[in-house]
Structure 1
Amino acid sequence: MATEVLPDPPSLRTGRRERALAQMEAHDLDILVLGRQANIRYVTGAPQLWIAGTRPFGPMCVVVRATGAIYLNSTDDEGVPDEIGRDHLYGLAWNPMTLVEVLKHIDGAATARRVGTDAITPTFAALLPEAFPRAELVDGEPAMRTARRVKTADEIAAMGPALRVADRGLAAALAELRPGVSERTLAGAALEAMAAGGVSTPATQDVAWVTSREHPWRRCHGDVRAGDLVALAVGALADGYVAEVARTFQVGDPANGAARQLFGRSEALCDKMIAACRPGAPTVGLLAAYEAVGEPLPPIPVAHGLGLGFDPPVVSETLSAAGEFDRLEAGMVLAVSGYVWQEGIGGVFRRDTVHITDGGAEVLTGDPS
């Protein structure tokens, strides 16, 4: 079966592009030079090659505010939208000066006053002024973050495949959960189900682990035993968008009284956190949910934005203590994480993908239990 690489649907890429151009105007950016793959897909709608690890910055995409023109680094036009003509494509080059020569000939490069980049390296910090001789180089990432933080209706719909695949992956791992099974087998079951659903790229590294009965933040190693509390966490990257879901289950016999009480604490915490997801509410309300139910804050973010990768905001005790907090807006999508622990029993970890609407929170992930 042949698979054709297609650009994102017109309404999806147009809606995103309009937001990016609006933020370029708000941040007074004449030209935006992008190197981060999520930002490039956001403005172009062209699927990007996924690789493990990080990439060094390079001028892979250029957006001109005055005309809305987009220039894209691509060796061919497969998956490139029609509105980005072949004359606006430029090829790969090992020599950075070759790329600088390309940038020099972009309409408006010679007269641009402010040029933003979403990242930079010392090499391109020295070379880009040659391409934009009259421009001040500034940080363009805030403009892209602002554009991406609130999702369009088309983006919410585009997250559907990732949500469905993540739910299926978790359900497949749950079906294999029993005494004697290994964490690796559980992870394999989840990844196999995701691949069968058309997604071979997980969005998160860990899938299954036995929670420790001796320490709140440690994991046990070895095969699953009866009575263990096992966390299953699945993230899927489909069509560029990320969805995450996590649940914890007790293995073997039905949960005893102490374990049921722990699961009850988890439900109370997650209910408080979901209730805190409303437009205009401060992000610190998600931290306050832990305090409200008497649970200690975990050493990980309790929420982070989802979209084409990870988007703002990131909500954690560390950022809050540093005075960094935000307000939630309708249209945001968050991965909301709750964790409770009891010595001698283990921990209960839960994560949901939550869409903040005008009327409050809409939980997008299913419940395989």
Structure 2
Amino acid sequence: MTEPLSFRRRDRVLEAMAARGLDTLVLGRADNTFYASGMRGLWTAGTRPFGAGCVVIAETGRTHVLSTSDAGLPETMTKEDLYSLTWNPQVMAGHLAAIDGFAESTLIGVDEVSPSFERAMARIAPRADIVPADDLMAEVRRIKFDEEIERVEAACAVAWSGVEAVLQTPGNPNPIGTAIVAMAKAGTTVPASTPTVLRRGDETIIDLGVLLDGYEGGLGGTFVYGQRQATPPIVDACRSGANHADLANAAAGPWLVRGLGMGFENPVLDPGHGHGEVLESGMVLSVSHRDHRDVIAVTDGPPRILSTRPASL
């Protein structure tokens, strides 16, 4: 029987921690927290400072999450692995100190950090050195499990429902609203990017992106009489072993190839970035060329296009 995805992601994080000798991993970014724990937090508007949203302990193999509710608790966790929300730094320090194995840590990795967190660590885990681990999380998320690829494909299908709703109502004065309603009916209200709908004569330029069950999907293109214009060669160029020069040679205009999963991920390649990157089988990429955007999975052969129009539409 296949182990649940949340277990496999957690185990990948623990393996990366072991390779670096980390006793504890403290995560503040919501996407990293979801990857390591399988538990999503509430969405908030605006920016916020770094906070210990998730703690992974190497010795116990357990993940602990900042949450006032056990709704959506994954198989990897129990209610005892949750610590409650507070704005009092002393109370938060007490929560962290109570986690089994935290105070004894000698090497703590963080995906972000703040001066107040460093001061708290000096009291809670006085023997610990704090080191960056944002690159650790980027690396473990770089290659996707098959189930993650399926979730991205499902999110792309939801984005297509928004595209179809726009194409079927050419005279609609509020096409973006129509797309959002259609995508909500298909399963999600969480955008992954700013929706775009532009009409120029017979052409309609559409780009939609969503998050479904924590994973991003989307597509873009120029549509003429309901049909998307041809896929650019750069999409087919995204194969295992391809490098920056291969992608640049396949492009005939502005282009961007970047990792996609729980949002904007590595690698990132465009005319000015990513010259040392090499694509690997198992990567999931958002491939943009002018107004066209596809989501693909890199394989050992031709890329698997995840943003193909679903047969059900």
> TM-score of the superposition, structure 1-length normalised?
0.78
Corresponding residue to 1:303 among 253, 257, 263: 257
User: Which residue identity does 2:220 align to in structure 1?
Assistant: A
SS of equivalent residue, structure 1 residue 79? coil
Partner residue of 1:361 out of 278, 289, 303: 303
Offset at residue 284 of structure 1 (A): 4.4
Q: Is the 8 A contact 2:7 2:76 kept in 1?
A: no
Question: 309-318 vs 234-243, which deviates more?
Answer: 309-318
Looking at structure 2, the residues matched to 106 and 97 of structure 1 have their Cα atoms a distance apart, in angstroms, of 15
Distance in 1 separating the partners of 2:215 and 2:73: 18
Once the two structures are TM-superposed, the CA of residue 285 in structure 1 deviates from its matched residue by 2.7
Check the 8 A contact 2:6/2:76 in 1, yes or no.
no
Q: CA deviation at 1:314?
A: 1.3
Match of 2:268 among 311, 314, 324: 314
Q: Structure 1: which amino acid aligns with 2:102?
A: A
Contact 1:284 1:315 in 2 (8 A): no
Count of residues in correspondence between the two structures: 310
Q: Which one of the candidate residues 194, 197, 202 is aligned to 1:205?
A: 194
Hey, what's the Cα distance between the residues in 1 that align with 2:273 and 2:155? 28
Amino acid at match of 2:249: A
Is the 2:216–2:260 Cα contact (8 Å) retained in structure 1? yes
Q: Quick one: which of 278, 296, 303 aligns to 1:327?
A: 278
Structure with the greater alpha carbon radius of gyration: 1
Distance 2:123 2:14 in 1: 24
State whether residues 333 and 355 of structure 1, in contact with CA within 8 Å, keep that contact through their aligned partners in structure 2.
Answer: yes
Which amino acid is the alignment partner of residue 188 of structure 2?
V
Q: Which of 109, 114, 118 lines up with 2:102 in the alignment?
A: 109
Residue of structure 2 in register with 1:338 after alignment: 289
Does the 8 Å contact 1:186/1:207 carry over to 2?
no
Give 5+ residue unaligned stretches, structure 2: none
State the Cα distance separating 1:82 from its structure 2 match. Answer: 4.5
Matched, 1:226 2:201: yes
Matches within 5 A, 1:70-219: 70-178=63-171, 181-182=172-173, 185-209=174-198
Counterpart residue type for residue 330 of structure 1: S
1:288 aligns with 2:239: no
Whether the aligned pair in 2 keeps the contact of 1:284 and 1:325 (CA below 8 Å) is: no
Give the drift of 1:47. 2.6
Alignment check: 8 A CA contact 2:37 2:76 kept: no
Partners of 1:136 and 1:288 in 2: CA distance: 45
TM superposition shift of 1:10:
5.8
Identity %: 37
Whole-angstrom CA distance in 2 between matches of 1:70 and 1:277: 35
Query: What's 1:238 paired with?
Result: 212
TM-score calculated relative to the size of structure 2: 0.91
Mark the CA change 1:284 to 1:106 in structure 2 (over 3 Å): closer, same or farther: farther
CA positional deviation for 1:45: 1.1
Contact 1:166 1:243 in 2 (8 A): yes
Which residue pairs with 2:292 in the alignment? 350
The letter for the 2-side match of 1:169 is G
How many Å apart are 1:195 and its aligned residue?
Answer: 0.9
Report the alpha carbon displacement of residue 307 of structure 1 after superposing the two structures with TM.
0.7
**Residue 250 of structure 1, CA deviation:** 4.0
User: How far is the alpha carbon of 1:115 from its aligned partner?
Assistant: 0.5
Displacement of 1:56: 1.9
Mapped to 2, the partners of 1:249 and 1:51 lie a distance apart of 34
Counterpart Cα distance in 1 of 2:271 and 2:46: 27
The aligned residue for residue 6 of structure 1 is none
The CA distance in 1 between the partners of 2:99 and 2:200, in whole Å, is 63
- Relative to structure 1, is the Cα distance of residues 18 and 360 closer, same or farther in structure 2, using a 3 angstrom cutoff? farther
Larger deviation, residues 122-131 vs 354-363: 122-131
In the TM superposition, 1:34-53 aligns within 5 A as: 34-53=27-46
- CA RMSD in angstroms comes to 2.4
**Is the CA contact 2:216–2:263 (under 8 Å) kept in the aligned structure 1?**
yes
Task: Summarize deviations over 1:206-249 as a string: whole Å, max 9, x none.
Answer: 3212xxxxxxxxxxxxxx4534x431011111100000101112
Q: Name the CA distance, whole Å, in 2 between partners of 1:93 and 1:10.
A: 34
CA distance in 2 between partners of 1:163 and 1:130 (Å)? 46
- Cα deviation, residue 350, structure 1: 0.6
50-59 vs 199-208, greater mean Cα deviation: 50-59
In 1, Cα distance between the equivalents of 2:298 and 2:122? 41
Q: Secondary structure at the match of 1:319?
A: coil
